Amino acid sequence: MNLRTVSLRRRVTFSVLLVLLLVLVALVIGVDRTFATQSSRDVDSVLREAQTRAAGFVVRGMPPREVVRQLSKRNIRVVVELSNGALVGEIPEGGHYQRNARTINGNKYTFYADTEAISQAQLRLRKLLVLLGLGAIVVTGLLMIVVVRRALAPLDAMTSLAQAIAAGHRGGRLNPSRTDTELGRTAAAFDGMLDSLEGSEQRTRRFVADAAHELRTPITGVQAVAEALVQAPVDSPDRDQMSFLLVREARRAGRLVDDLLALAQLDAGYEMQREPVDLLALAEAEVARTRFVAPDFDIAVEGVSVVVEGDGQRLAQVLANLVDNARQATGPGGVVRIRVDPTGFSVRDDGPGVPEGERERIFDRLVRLDDARDRRSGGSGLGLAIARGVVRAHGGELTCEPADRGAVFRVRLPGAAPRPPAI
């Protein structure tokens, strides 16, 4: 998006002046034409009155020359063309005249009205309207400079606040008095954006600090074990144990780095692979994996075969994360059930469950409800955040639902449909 950054003050001022100019031009033209039309009607009325009087004089037997003398005045001239072609009266020359003719008793009477005074008045009116219009434009332009500056003062306040925040002064807000106006809605959206940005910045800083803290633990362990291993004699009986610890801490650091990379990919809008995925087959594969890792653990899958369009590897990662969390929460004697239905799938366990106030917080990054246990198991506190990010990247949602016993994690996926039976 390329935003045009022409001065808003000049744009508003010029727009108002242009509209005013067009209105004044239309007004001058309208007044001029109205004046001309009305003047023509008035003159025509005077000529008709003269015709009426002339007809009355002729009826009373007044000769044409006397009619001309009676009706010819300063602004009215009468010329009679007799039936024999002779003219009575003088035809006016030059100037501006409006004329009207009528035949009375066989003679043609032509009446001339001098419109020079009207033309001069119309010209003076035009000049007056133009001068008043130009004056109005000048005065309006000067007033618009002040009015627009006051009207756009809130935008200057937004600019000053943005510059202050860019300079490192956090926490400032516009706090509009009204949010039902154009500027009020803009200011409210501006404050909301600042809240979101500052909240995101705080979360990012906290996440970076927590991630650094999480990485420091295994890296410190790797460093300590490596130094001890280097200093230990070749025939030391503890070398095997130290080698085992070194590998475990290295794997722990590697898993944390992989989780951080997965989160970074999700935040950057990682494009998921799209292919038909059978959720029931995915769940059965996860049950087989868990039974291989923990043969005595009670886990099973139930439901119908459902196919979705998605990334099978990522959805398997989500399911494995939920199952591993459930297995850690319940312990060796726990029970976990995976259920596949037309909306997606769910993982239920009979462990201690999740408190109501923590059902949303557990999806935050680097959050553990049982910190000591998760550290022993190698958990980073990123698994549920990654799982929700993957599900949302598929257009679905991952939630922790209330349960009478244990915890229930439900994954809803769009476009899930039961697989048609094979023929």
Query: Cα 31 vs. chain centroid, distance in angstroms?
Result: 46
Domain CATH code at residue 397: 3.30.565.10
Going by pLDDT thresholds of 50, 70 and 90, the confidence category of residue 117 is confident
In-domain check, residue 166: no
In-domain check, residue 327: yes
- Write down the pLDDT at residue 282: 94
Asked if residue 217 and residue 119 are part of one domain, the reply reads: no
Beta strands in 203-249 (DSSP E): none
Task: Say which range, 21-25, 82-86, 271-275, has the weakest mean pLDDT.
Answer: 271-275
Give the separation between CA 200 and CA 198, rounded to whole angstroms: 5
pLDDT at 276 over 80: yes
pLDDT at 284 over 90: yes
In-domain check, residue 156: no
Asked if residue 286 and residue 257 are part of one domain, the reply reads: no
Average pLDDT for 77-105: 85
- Write down the pLDDT at residue 371: 45
pLDDT at 54 over 80: yes
Chosen domain end from 218, 240, 267: 267
Asked if residue 403 and residue 304 are part of one domain, the reply reads: yes
In-domain check, residue 199: yes
pLDDT at 391 over 80: yes
Q: What does the pLDDT look like over 195-238, one tens digit per residue?
A: 777 767 676 776 677 667 667 767 877 888 788 878 888 777 77
Query: Which single residue is written with the structure tokens 């990662």?
Result: 317
Single pTM value for the model? 0.51
Domain CATH code at residue 207: 1.10.287.130
Higher local confidence (pLDDT), 95 or 278: 278
Q: Which two tokens stand for residue 206?
A: 């906290």
- Write down the pLDDT at residue 339: 95
Residue 85 domain boundaries: 8-151
- Write down the pLDDT at residue 373: 39
Chosen domain end from 267, 284, 317: 267
Q: What does the pLDDT look like over 129-169, one tens digit per residue?
A: 889 989 988 898 888 888 888 877 777 777 777 777 767 66
Regarding beta strands 298-303 and 306-310, do their DSSP bridges make them parallel or antiparallel, or are they unpaired? Answer: unpaired
Give the separation between CA 128 and CA 139, rounded to whole angstroms: 16
Beta bridge partners of 310: 275
- Write down the pLDDT at residue 106: 87
Asked if residue 388 and residue 344 are part of one domain, the reply reads: yes
Asked if residue 382 and residue 279 are part of one domain, the reply reads: yes
- Write down the pLDDT at residue 300: 95
Asked if residue 229 and residue 145 are part of one domain, the reply reads: no
Asked if residue 279 and residue 263 are part of one domain, the reply reads: no
Going by pLDDT thresholds of 50, 70 and 90, the confidence category of residue 419 is low
Regarding beta strands 97-104 and 335-341, do their DSSP bridges make them parallel or antiparallel, or are they unpaired? Answer: unpaired
Mean residue pLDDT of the chain comes to: 83
Asked if residue 413 and residue 281 are part of one domain, the reply reads: yes
Q: How many domains does the chain have?
A: 3
- Write down the pLDDT at residue 207: 67
Going by pLDDT thresholds of 50, 70 and 90, the confidence category of residue 377 is very low
Beta strands in 183-324 (DSSP E): 275-278, 298-303, 306-310
Regarding beta strands 417-418 and 306-310, do their DSSP bridges make them parallel or antiparallel, or are they unpaired? Answer: antiparallel
- Cβ atoms of 136 and 165 within 8 Å: the answer is no
Q: What does the pLDDT look like over 285-300, one tens digit per residue?
A: 999 999 988 888 999 9
pLDDT at 258 over 70: yes
Domain CATH code at residue 32: 3.30.450
pLDDT at 348 over 90: yes
- Write down the pLDDT at residue 378: 47
The rounded radius of gyration (Å) of the Cα atoms in the chain is 48
Going by pLDDT thresholds of 50, 70 and 90, the confidence category of residue 422 is low
Query: Which single residue is written with the structure tokens 């990379």?
Result: 261
Task: Say which range, 53-62, 294-303, 409-418, has the weakest mean pLDDT.
Answer: 409-418
Burial class (CB in 10 A: 0-12, 13-18, 19+), 21: middle
What order do you get walking across the sheet with 344-349 strand by strand? 298-303, 335-341, 344-349, 408-412, 397-401
Percent of the chain with pLDDT over 70: 87
Chosen domain end from 212, 241, 267: 267
Give the separation between CA 181 and CA 154, rounded to whole angstroms: 12
Q: Where is 165: in which H helix or E strand?
A: helix 153-166
In-domain check, residue 119: yes
- Write down the pLDDT at residue 169: 66
Average pLDDT for 173-190: 76
pLDDT at 77 over 80: yes
In-domain check, residue 83: yes
pLDDT at 338 over 90: yes
Which DSSP category does 358 fall into? G
Asked if residue 257 and residue 363 are part of one domain, the reply reads: no
Which DSSP category does 234 fall into? T
In-domain check, residue 68: yes
Asked if residue 281 and residue 261 are part of one domain, the reply reads: no
- Write down the pLDDT at residue 105: 86
Going by pLDDT thresholds of 50, 70 and 90, the confidence category of residue 376 is very low
Asked if residue 97 and residue 38 are part of one domain, the reply reads: yes
Asked if residue 320 and residue 254 are part of one domain, the reply reads: no
In-domain check, residue 176: no
